[in-house]
Structure 1
């Protein structure tokens, strides 16, 4: 099968374009990676080049040794993925130690995978273990309203989780574990990768202060839907705060407990505090 005809590639391209249309990917902002299933690799195997040069990842992810990923390229614009996928994307293979990668397809103009590759792969490893191999998608985008909130709310998990849960009834159901918050760190390096991977042991969402959001999920729909829900909740909160700083009414801790009971989700009590 041609790589561009594969369903997982088409799903990847659609998700990337959906993010562009939301306004989350100015210029070359954001990145997306997908851990490819074994049967999907086999379906396109004849079109993979396994003779490429091995290059250091910049971190070690031994649990991902031998895995294949579909990734966005460094400096690539999300708006171009749908029209120039072979220039914008790559299939990479990790070596048998999880320390190096090689490009097996794509990035036809000689570019390299996303500069956030260490963050993505470290978090793929964490989420693969935590989810018993179910999670396959890691998505980073510059979500406008979430970024705005990082300038006015305390950079604390419990504050962001509680405020976002209160803004829309579906939120505690969509992300019942809450969200984590990473203080501002220079992007693209090991420090932000380590800080994020620690939070992702507990959460599926990490907010990067003054930068954006980082989400993990089982497939493209779940992961995009997770980010979309968090960002919409943030938009409601931004609008609420712009109208008046104190709410006249809200969803209370007991309301949230009742919601959790009916929807059969567990909400950590640490986020159900009295303000």
Structure 2
């Protein structure tokens, strides 16, 4: 496979991951979106002297995000296909800067066909503002995709955070290590609205992973590689659980006591302590 190259290192890193999401069946047509918070000084250096890298008209944001003022983002465009990322990166992606005290954004590069950031951009920014604070700046990228097995569970299970989290944790030992913060559920809401952004922000206070019911996953992590791995692990656990349900339901699973041992043994690898049921009294 020919290695993808681009003048902007962030695009060079993100485009192959976005294409891989399409290959996995997570992002059909123009479904899904991704945004990556970038160091402003590195963006300025990467764009310096680059053809087409000229600031565009400032656009207002529906929800001000003062804590993101001055931050730059590499964002997929509205209506763009993930599968076109390596062949049309200047159309699929754009780089914008948050300005005016967090009330607007300024395009810096990309959206070559006259596009604009994803319609979910406001929700991404709410997510970034929340996770930037909660993670002390560690988390920088948010990926939203339509992972089929994970979506299927929203039709098969109660829409209850605890039940979904425990079901996934009990399917593979890796799960509680990779997502010890669990999966938080957002009820069915209209995409691209302030309402879903506000509901998502509430759940992102407690976890890097949220379920948009019947719609997909919304996950936050530090790098393109780590957010892909996070979604990949959740989706595999969802696939196992869906197969177990289709076979009549679980006869057994990883017991809470073993989950507790896993949490103790792998604590140094985990982003937080998992919220496990209290151990029964002796």
User: TM above 0.5, one fold?
Assistant: yes
Counterpart of 1:98 in structure 2 is 102
Quote the offset at 1:22 in angstroms. Answer: 0.5
Question: Could you report, residue by residue, the CA deviation over 1:45-89 in whole angstroms, capped at 9, with x for unpaired residues?
Answer: 313745411111211110000111000000011111111011111
Q: Give the aligned CA root-mean-square deviation in angstroms.
A: 1.7
1:236 aligns with 2:240: yes
SS in 2 for 1:150: helix
2:172, 2:45 → 1: CA distance?
41
- Please list, as runs of the form range in 1=range in 2, the aligned pairs for 1:153-172 lying within 5 A after superposition: 153-172=157-176
Determine if contact 2:256/2:277 at 8 Å carries over to the other structure: no
Q: Pick from 104, 115, 133: which aligns with 2:137?
A: 133
Which residue number corresponds to residue 267 of structure 1?
274
Residue pair 1:158, 1:271 contacting (<8 A) in 2 also: no
Structure 1: tracts of 5 or more residues without a match: none
**Secondary structure of 1:104 counterpart:** strand
Answer whether contact 1:156 1:181 (CA < 8 A) is retained: yes
Q: In 2, Cα distance between the equivalents of 1:158 and 1:98?
A: 35
1:254 counterpart = 2:257: yes
Q: Aligned partners of 1:269 and 1:167: how far apart in 2?
A: 15
Return the TM-score normalized by structure 1: 0.94
Aligned: 1:122 with 2:126? yes
Provide the C-alpha distance between the structure 2 equivalents of 1:272 and 1:168, rounded to a whole number of angstroms: 20
Point out where structure 2 has 5 or more consecutive residues left out of the alignment. none
Q: Distance in 1 between matches of 2:89 and 2:156?
A: 38
TM-score (norm 2): 0.92
* SS class of match (2:225): helix
Are positions 1:176 and 2:180 aligned together?
yes
Write the deviation string for residues 89-139 of structure 1: whole angstroms up to 9, x where unpaired. 100111131111121111111111100000000110111111111110010
